[in-house]
Structure 1
Amino acid sequence: MREPHVASAAPTSKILELFDSDFISDPHPTLAKLREESPAHLVATPNGLKTWLVTRYEDAKALLTDPRVSKDMRVGYGLVPQNFADPEKQAHFQAQRGTRKQFATELSTTMLDSDPPDHTRLRKLVAKAFTMRQVEALRPRITELVTELLDAIEDRDEVDLMDALSFPVPFTVICWLLGVPPEDRDKFRRWSNLLTSGQGSEEALDASQDMVGYLRALIADKRENPADDMLTALIEATDEGEKLDEIELISMAFLLLVAGHETTVNLLNTGTLALLTNPDQRALLAADAGLWDSAIDEFLRIDAPLANATWRFTLEPIRLGDVLIPKGEFITISLSAAGRDPKRYTDPDRVDITRKNSGHLAFGHGIHHCIGAPLARLEGRIVLGELFRRFPRLSLATPKDELSWRPSFNLRGLASLPVRLR
């Protein structure tokens, strides 16, 4: 087992550099050591910011609803300069500030980056457009899409499941919901990859501007040509006379587009990997299809598609055990680490699809619980169920330790998944 490079000093004495290629490939040994040593460690993100990484389940769950922690990034953005771990990157940020922001403002005005009462208003409006009835109505279309994609690879011996199935399904579904034309998928995939990398590169800055321009034009088209899709419903949604304004619409469309497919892609790939490397669990599912719902939750727990919850910062000092997190500093809640906390789960590193009451945090907790969770579960159930039914001899075409993982601070996902179909 790789020895995680964690400083032996007290967690507050040094900013840890964790996010190298080894950590991206397998973060769990390092997270386990961090979790055992202390409830929080000061770490540096890939783009040079310092943040307190919280790794224990009970702390993670509590902080997800703690009123002393904010998600209002209109305020949080102002805390960025004082929270750089890297002086050179801090200087670069300060030089760029006022001329070009690191992320288009129009993409940051979402319920994900707000506190009540703004969050309450935004979520109520989105909930009017994103209903369980709409999600369940997609079941036959998703099943048909999966059948078509599996038919297309049926005669092949080997495929990259990412390109053949895991990416096309959730992305096509979210495009259906928002009314995005199929011909725009390639550029959206590129923009999304850049914007979720956490690298803060010039390409990512350009991608955020390109995304804003595209969504602005798409919204204008929906105003002129209303359709039976979620974007039209968001435009028309009202609550006691309140409506989403232009910037809120752009930001919400972006959130639904990216969050609506990125994490589900990861779930499909890591779920497949879990079954390919745990034949006993695969056999259980083959014998009892009624286990699929609990299996999906186990895949979410064992490798959370969103490795780290999105940005939060402290409104006042917060003590976790022997660690005092000061006011005005960023907190990163490790959903990956929380999902394998031995104080919450028996034998946490083992895939067990019969596990009861897992109560995982992969979809968050509290007011920011993922509104798209029912859709992700539905897609996971249909895609993985059909895949393993159609290809009972499915196997990895590349050794597990040679698989490539996406270099992202927030997401936990494979870059590709080569498989043999027979």
Structure 2
Amino acid sequence: MATYIGRMRCLFSLERAVFLSRGNIFSVETKRYVRGLRRKPVRVIFPENEKHKGDVKQAISAGKKEAKVPLRAEQHPGDRGDLKTRNSQISSATVKSNETDEVPFERALPGDKRLARLVSVARSRTFREQQGKVLLEGRRLICDALNAGAVPQTIFFSTLERLRELPLDKLRRAALVKVKFEDIKLWSDLVAPQGVIGIFSRPDASRLRFEASKHSVPLSLICNNIRDPGNLGTMLRCAAAAGCHQVLLTKGCVDIWEPKVLRAAMGAHFHLPIHPSLTWEEVEDHLPEHVGVYVADTQKSLEVNSSHKPSDFGWISTTRAHRDSHLEESDSDEEELSLPKVDAAAYHNDWARSPVALVVGGETYGISVEALQLAEKKAGCRLFVPMVPHVDSLNSAMAASILLFEGRKQLLNSTQNSGKKRRNNAGQRLS
């Protein structure tokens, strides 16, 4: 039988083939370069009374069934089958973090627009506030969010290695979607994308866990009129590094979940509580009862008191936070604004002995009049950093970092001195 099939394969390449069959001679006209075996399968004719005829047929039919091997989880389904079949094959894929831990994931089909749609809408502040979703990119930022207790909704990743770098035990309720790296690179804000993007529920500071809270000091940062995303992100990063107790943002500041703010903050959102979009009444409610409020200032020569108007100082905003945006300011309104008396002091003076709060304003609009009123009410003052002549001012983020670390140093020294006094008094009583 094998010899017969071999003869057929050899003779099909000739223009005219001659076959011998039971003594008869007949010729077959064939065309060059046409392979008959590809056009039609060879039909094997068994002689009558062949013993293994049934066994061979069963073997052939079994071989055809075994040829229909289902796609593996690692293979791309391509265009094979209908949409339901492909979805069922995709949803069965899993990734293992160890021998016992498995997390299901799915592959994005060609033309899947979920990544583009979610990334585009998550960059909108209106969508973030209405839908309660934020976008986090990069392994470190996503890990910090998961460790703090943020709730993931969808994780897009390019390779399984990138997915295994995340804590898989905290991703069981999230939708994991494997996409091409080119798609992530197209929608990424990073110069060198890491191949992982996460869509999270908008975190609430009151529900997150902050591991760095045990190293914090009673120091609060109040951001007022910070409109630059890079400056705000840097200030949040400095506040986390200095061990601030919390960060309070007044209305008018840039959204803390802007992509530029997230990049500059380097995960600070998940290292300390951040309360955005607060009125000055809400700011005061978040502060301890006995707290000193200090305002970062760029000038030391002029004294701020009731005889001055806000327009006399470039670092004081003439727009009141509680005034409606559709009302225009008039001269009479400006004259009605009276500035409280707030003295100035160098930043290295002894000002942080008990819980304190530092107000830092934006470079364009400056601080609000309400900030000075709160500083007067809480027995605070204006803090400035001495600089050489002919230098206008420092960047708001740089000034905040200098004042925050100085405040931390003074608070720690005050705590150590208080501890020494208590130990000395206890030793004197024992003696």
TM-score by length of 2: 0.21
Greater relative CO (CA pairs within 8 A, separation 6+):
1
TM-score by length of 1: 0.21
Q: Which has the higher strand share?
A: 2
Instruction: From the CA coordinates, give the structure whose radius of gyration is larger.
Output: 2
